[in-house]
Amino acid sequence: MAGPLKTFTHTVVLGNKPLRTYLLDIIVGFNQGIEVVEIVGEGKNISKAVTLYNMLLDRLGDSVSLDNIEIGSVIERGRRVSYIKIRVKRI
Amino acid sequence: MAGPLKTFTHTVVLGNKPLRTYLLDIIVGFNQGIEVVEIVGEGKNISKAVTLYNMLLDRLGDSVSLDNIEIGSVIERGRRVSYIKIRVKRI
């Protein structure tokens, strides 16, 4: 019996590390068979998430494609924080 | 003879004004018959663009819907700048 269809997704929540660290992490992940990477940036890290996406595109070119972008907000400790989730697929 | 189909689009490029200024501008625009608003944020203003979108959603609720999100980068004065374009439609 075949199991359910699985997609290996890797989520990267941006913090204070240099963007190059996350970039390397994602590229290694793709090489290890991860199919989808979700880049998550909250608040001021939203801009960083878009920059990281552009860096990834520069490095991997046509071997990745933009799968989806989600924007929204969540309540964290009583304050509303905006976020972005950028899904990138390995082709 | 019918002319080409027209959509009244209004583009808001974020700068240093308080977000409330842009919010008011957009709401007034929708009331005046604009159908699509494109919120553009570059560099550090990308985060602001997402926050403005969330504020708009709070105010206008079901009468607006997210039409499209575009992310990318442009070269400006030799430097690459990331951007986001959030298209919001009046229903």
pLDDT surpassing 90 at residue B29: yes
Q: Which two tokens stand for residue A64?
A: 């990745």
pLDDT at A20: 95
CB B9 within 8 A of CB B38: yes
Of B20, B22, B41, B34, the residue nearest B63 (C-alpha): B34
Whether this model's pTM surpasses 0.90:
no
pLDDT surpassing 80 at residue A91: yes
Q: Which chain A residues are within 8 Å of B84, Cβ to Cβ?
A: 50, 84
Instruction: Name which of B43, B53, B72 is nearest A47 (Cβ-Cβ).
Output: B43
Question: To the nearest whole percent, how much of chain A has pLDDT over 70?
Answer: 93
CB contact under 8 A, B47 and A51: no
Distances (CA, A) of B76 to A55, A57, B69, B71, B83: 16, 18, 21, 16, 11
One-letter amino acid at A89 equals K
Mean of all residue pLDDT scores within chain A: 91
Least confident of A4-18, A24-38, A61-75: A4-18
pLDDT at B20: 95
SS3 content of chain A, % helix, strand, coil (to 5): 35, 40, 25
CB contact under 8 A, A73 and B86: no
Confidence of residue B35 (pLDDT cuts 50, 70, 90): very high
Q: Which chain A residues are within 8 Å of B83, Cβ to Cβ?
A: 50
Taking the C-alpha atoms of residue B7 and residue A75, their distance in angstroms, rounded to an integer, is: 35
